[in-house]
Amino acid sequence: MFKFLYNLRYQFKTNTPMRKYIIAAIFSLFITAAFAQTAQTPTPKPPFWDDVQVIKKFDGMFAAPQHPILFTGSSSIRKWDDVEYTFAEYGALNRGIGGAVTNDIIRYVNDLVFKYQPKQIVIYVGENDLVVKKSKADSALIKRSKADSISMTKTDLDSVYNRTITLYKAIRYKMPVVPILYIGMKPSPSRQKIMPMELEFNARVKAFLATDKNNVFVDVYPLMLDNGKLRPELYVGDKLHMTRLGYAIWEKAVKPYLIK
């Protein structure tokens, strides 16, 4: 939850007299969300339940843009800290969740997507699915050993692809014509062993999305390579998440397709 609140700083870039009161209110919100228990809380709580409750409470305090361009998915979206500021003229709204896999976004699609009635949806999720344990791929990110990463099979890839299609169909059931911009999997130095699977996944999803004129597949993979080699300067110390240089590539790649 701290990570989510950290992202909100771009909504208060000006030094107004009310700024300190707004910041105090946000941290008060965090404390309430962190410790309050209600009758509606499931037992056990599913992954990222608390994160979603914080989002709901924040929405109760600060109105989201009407019919925004909604960015959702895993940490590569959540850590796109300034996406709302960068694409302010488009009415961008960041509702990413760090560590999420595809089933997590499916589980919370009502809270993360439908409630905002977006005019366009930007999605990045699925990379974590390839590095979690095979069981259900619906929990927080689980670190795997190098041996585990090497043992990925076509069955694993099929499962990730099928979950992606399930997410797409869930959105299309409620929003049949809303434009969807799907960002393909990126290459990551810490996940070099799964790069062949990422490329195959991207090709399959791109082909599937091409069947609907309201879809756009943005392939950032080749943009983040230099003659086929990884570019270390695009990543922070964990060799997974991106630096500002990495996000600059994404910004340039998606901007032509965003709707004002």
Domain identity same for 125 and 252: yes
Per-residue pLDDT of the chain (260 residues; tens, 9 = 90+): 444 454 554 444 444 444 544 555 555 555 454 444 444 788 899 999 999 999 999 999 999 999 999 999 999 999 999 999 999 999 999 999 999 999 999 999 999 999 999 999 999 999 999 987 543 443 333 343 343 344 567 778 999 999 999 999 999 999 999 999 999 999 999 999 999 999 999 999 999 999 999 999 999 999 999 999 999 999 999 999 999 999 999 999 999 999 99
Domain identity same for 141 and 12: no
Question: What is the count of structural domains for the chain?
Answer: 2
DSSP string, 147-161: HHHHT--HHHHHHHH
Domain identity same for 26 and 147: no
Domain identity same for 41 and 167: no
Domain identity same for 23 and 119: no
Q: Report the CATH number that the domain containing residue 121 is assigned in CATH.
A: 3.40.50.1110
Tell me the β-bridge partners of 217: 182
Domain identity same for 110 and 234: yes
Domain identity same for 131 and 51: no
* Domain extent at residue 27: 1-62
Domain identity same for 99 and 112: yes
**The model's pTM:** 0.82
Domain identity same for 177 and 247: yes
**Could you give the CA distance from residue 190 to residue 240 in angstroms, rounded to a whole number?**
6
Pick the last residue of a domain from 62, 79, 99.
62
**Could you give the CA distance from residue 14 to residue 11 in angstroms, rounded to a whole number?**
9
Domain identity same for 151 and 177: yes
Reference 135, options 103, 106, 167, 109; nearest CA is 103
Pick the last residue of a domain from 62, 87, 107.
62
Pick the last residue of a domain from 20, 46, 62.
62
Domain identity same for 187 and 165: yes
